[in-house]
Amino acid sequence: VVDADRLDRNLERWQAYCDRVDLRSRPHVKTHKCVEIARRQVQLGAAGLTCQKLGEAETMVDAGFDDVLVPYNIVGAAKLERLAQLLERATIAVSVDDASLLPGLDRAASRSGRQLRVLVDCDTGLGRTGVARPDDAGALATEIVRHESLHFGGFVTYPALPAAREFLGAAAAGAERAGLEVDVVSAGGTPAMWSAGELRPVVGEYRVGTYAFHDRATVAAGAATLDEVAMTVAATVVSRPGDRRAVLDAGSKSLTSDLAPSPGHGVILEAPSSTIVRLNEEHAYVELADGESLELGQQVRVVPNHACTVSNLFDEFVVVRDGDVVDRWRVDARGRSR
Ligand SMILES: Cc1ncc(COP(=O)(O)O)c(C=O)c1O
């Protein structure tokens, strides 16, 4: 269930913040995978979209969006072919953290007859992908420009941990010393979104995904309050097998098994101190807190631990305003994880 007013407020508030601190916003569609919501983000002023997978990018380009960053190593002939086809239809940028990927990207771009923007993926603390030192980032940037169909697009990192600013500043300075122009330095992440302005002027672009809906994790991080959460999972109490035990019809195939900082698999808004202690595929086991009760047949709303993985499990969002269903939006890129 998506609360349209809360969604709009979340989108508007973030765009207003970006305008105030002079950051370009490039929202990440992985959270909603929904063309209708992406349209709202761009209408409000987003500079383009971020997609994590080519499948998401294909969905968004099919829908008419023409500026997409895929901050991901594109590996293997099949993906490079899809990248070439995408590039024929839209302005696409990708990231790399390894020079050995550049010849494949170059051939794909050359096949499409267009230049491909390539950003250097920097590991500024997460320990996921990305080059580990600013010098390596600069060296990879100089490799990119040796390829005829590749354009060095700048640097990208996730998330924006405090060390990011120094790392990215050093990488950008190194690239400039080598005579390269740095188009953009892009950071991201909802937990730290309200301090993104402190990354200026090194960082010029910021990518947020979860901010559209928020969830239990971003509320725990202090990026939002529970009453700003715009997406919940509607569930029904299907069993009351004991005084302190209730069972909901939303299991791991609805709430996912992703965890949040505090225990449990989501917050039941009608019984917020109670805990979803365990999930099966189609059942949530609720331990009721003192003073809280749930009735057999009662419909409840659950704030999930992680909104992005929940969207991917449903075909559509049921859109409500003031408690009434006003629309249904397809989750267009659900399952498009290739
Ligand atoms: C590369 C990249 N950019 C941006 C984001 C957006 O993060 P968030 O949903 O916290 O806003 C993510 C999230 O995983 C990411 O991997």
Instruction: Note the pLDDT tens digit of each residue in 302-330.
Output: 999 999 999 999 999 999 999 999 999 99
- Residue bearing the CA closest to ligand 1, atom 7: 189
Distance 240 CA to ligand 1 centre (A): 38
- Residue bearing the CA closest to ligand 1, atom 16: 158
pLDDT in tens, 217-253: 999 999 999 999 999 999 999 999 999 999 999 999 9
CA of 188, closest atom in ligand 1: 4
Which residue out of 18, 30, 309 has the highest number of ligand 1 atoms within 8 Å of its CB and is therefore the one to mutate?
30
Say yes or no to pLDDT of 161 above 90: no
Distance 295 CA to ligand 1 centre (A): 38
Position 129 scores a pLDDT of 98
Q: What is the CA radius of gyration of the chain?
A: 21
Which residues contact residue 293 at a Cβ distance below 8 angstroms, ignoring those fewer than 6 apart? 271
Burial class of 301 by CB neighbour count within 10 A (0 to 12, 13 to 18, 19+): middle
Position 327 scores a pLDDT of 98
Which residue out of 207, 216, 231, 312 has the highest number of ligand 1 atoms within 8 Å of its CB and is therefore the one to mutate?
207
Say yes or no to pLDDT of 63 above 90: yes
Mean pLDDT of the chain: 97
Report yes or no on whether pTM surpasses 0.95: yes
Instruction: List pocket residues of ligand 1, CB cut-off 6 Å.
Output: 28, 31, 50, 71, 158, 188-190, 207-211
CA of 208, closest atom in ligand 1: 11
Q: 25 pLDDT band (50/70/90 cuts)?
A: very high
List 117's β-bridge partners, or say none.
Answer: 93, 151
